[in-house]
Amino acid sequence: MTERRVRWGVISTANIGRAAVIPAIHASRNGELVAVASRDAERARTFAAAHGIPGHFGSYEALLEAPGIDAVYVPLPNSLHRPWTVRAAERGLHVLCEKPLALDAVECREMAAAAEEHGVKLMEAFMYRFHPRTERVVAMAAEGAVGKVRAVRSAFTFRLTRPDNIRLDSALGGGALMDVGCYCVNVSLTVLGAEPESVQATAGWAESGVDNELAGMMRFRGGAVAHFDCALTMERCEYYEVAGTDGYLRVPDAFLPGTGDVPVEEHGGRGARRTHTVAGDDEYRLMVEHFADCVLHDRPVRYPPAEAASNMRVIEALYRSARAGGSVVSV
Ligand SMILES: NC(=O)c1ccc[n+]([C@@H]2O[C@H](COP(=O)([O-])OP(=O)(O)OC[C@H]3O[C@@H](n4cnc5c(N)ncnc54)[C@H](OP(=O)(O)O)[C@@H]3O)[C@@H](O)[C@H]2O)c1
């Protein structure tokens, strides 16, 4: 490791790397991008040339074996998160892995154990948690801005147009809940600061077996609820609301707000309404800089894999309920 910068490798030529995380690493104050790997050597070469990455490899294994890399970013299909994270950890590489961290909570724990055993950092790449607005809303809710919090309402939907997309492949860990509903679950657990006791869900299924659409409900100790819908079949919508005894906070474009200034709408009693403006930032860059700081200074990551396991436990319970026709399932 150089004194001040983490040397990153990227495993695959995934869209999210190209569009968001690779630019974020390039822009980061404490990282440099040294190599990309693809299953296809020519794809790796052209991708590296297009994105200003000096090194390229025709297999993921070759990147893991290469000298001069400290950490890898893993934006693979969900079913490949666990095997490649574990292999990277075994090579002594720190891992920032895409969301959802794995297919289930057991896999999350295996990944955490591998990171622990080999003394490397592991974090799930839920970038929206690093946006200053998310931190502000969580703080406002905790400080009583809406009174006693009783509900979190959320949605994340978009319309998938390509039939060969990884999100429609059940063997790769596709599905609306895995892909975008995981944000709704995550923000609900983050705001309410706990795991739900029970859940219910109903889903519409694609021919491939993945959930095209899913609506879920989570009940927390003390009676607070969180409910959401997610879909691969509906026009884009992403928001959450934190509702309490005295009002509610509405957060539009909640997970992908871009880099401009963003609002938090505060609704109080008798129609009172106020908009707070939070200065914009690049949530992907903030995430990679945080992770690199943890690597460079050997600090714990802000969102440890145990939290990802918690999220996955809830996702698993929601799927059990949806498959059982919406029955109440304990988490
Ligand atoms: N945080 C966010 O904002 C965000 C946004 C979108 C997606 N994601 C997450 O990022 C991950 C990747 O999503 P994406 O939409 O970027 O995926 P994608 O464009 O389909 O890329 C996935 C990459 O994985 C590699 N791969 C290895 N085995 C594969 C297989 N059997 N089928 C298809 N690809 C395979 C391919 O790279 P090579 O051919 O180069 O090996 C491919 O380019 C997912 O976990 C997703 O949940 C996160």
The continuous run of DSSP H or E covering 157 comes out as strand 149-159
Asked if the model's pLDDT at residue 1 lies above 70, the reply is no
What pairing do the DSSP bridges indicate for beta strands 273-278 and 233-244?
Answer: unpaired
Cross-strand bridge partners of residue 225: 151, 219
φ, ψ of residue 266 to 5 degrees: the values are -105, 120
Q: What is the pLDDT of residue 2?
A: 47
pLDDT, one tens digit per residue, over 217-265 is 999 999 999 999 999 999 999 999 999 999 999 999 999 999 999 999 9
Q: How long, in residues, is the chain?
A: 331
From the centroid of its chain, how far is CA 328?
A: 26
Q: What is the pLDDT of residue 55?
A: 98
Whether 98 lines ligand 1, by a CB cut-off of 6 Å, is yes
Please enumerate in sequence order all residues whose Cβ is within 8 A of that of 58, keeping only pairs 6 or more positions apart, or say none. 37, 38, 39, 40, 41, 42, 44
Read off the pLDDT of each residue in 152-180 and give the average, rounded to a whole number.
97
Query: CA neighbours within 13 Å on the CB side: how many for 163?
Result: 3
Whether 125 lines ligand 1, by a CB cut-off of 6 Å, is yes
Whether 293 lines ligand 1, by a CB cut-off of 6 Å, is no
Q: DSSP labels for 188-218?
A: HHHHHTS--SEEEEEEEE-TTSSEEEEEEEE
CA dist 195 → 31, 185, 298, 309 (Å): 34, 10, 28, 11
Q: Which atom of ligand 1 is nearest to the CA of 43?
A: 40
124 vs 226: CA distance, rounded Å: 22
User: Which of 74, 166, 180, 182 has the most ligand 1 atoms within 8 A of CB, as the residue to mutate?
Assistant: 166
Whether 166 lines ligand 1, by a CB cut-off of 6 Å, is yes
Confidence of residue 63 (pLDDT cuts 50, 70, 90): very high
User: Which of 10, 98, 129 has the most ligand 1 atoms within 8 A of CB, as the residue to mutate?
Assistant: 98
**E strands along 19-93, which residues?**
31-37, 55-57, 71-74
pTM higher than 0.85 for the full model?
Answer: yes
Q: Under a CB-based contact definition with an 8 Å cutoff, are residues 278 and 251 in contact?
A: no
Tally of CB atoms within 10 A around 304: 15
33 vs 65: CA distance, rounded Å: 16
pLDDT, one tens digit per residue, over 12-42 is 999 999 999 999 999 999 999 999 999 999 9
How many angstroms separate the alpha carbon of residue 258 from the centre of ligand 1?
Answer: 21
Tally of CB atoms within 10 A around 236: 11
Whether 38 lines ligand 1, by a CB cut-off of 6 Å, is yes
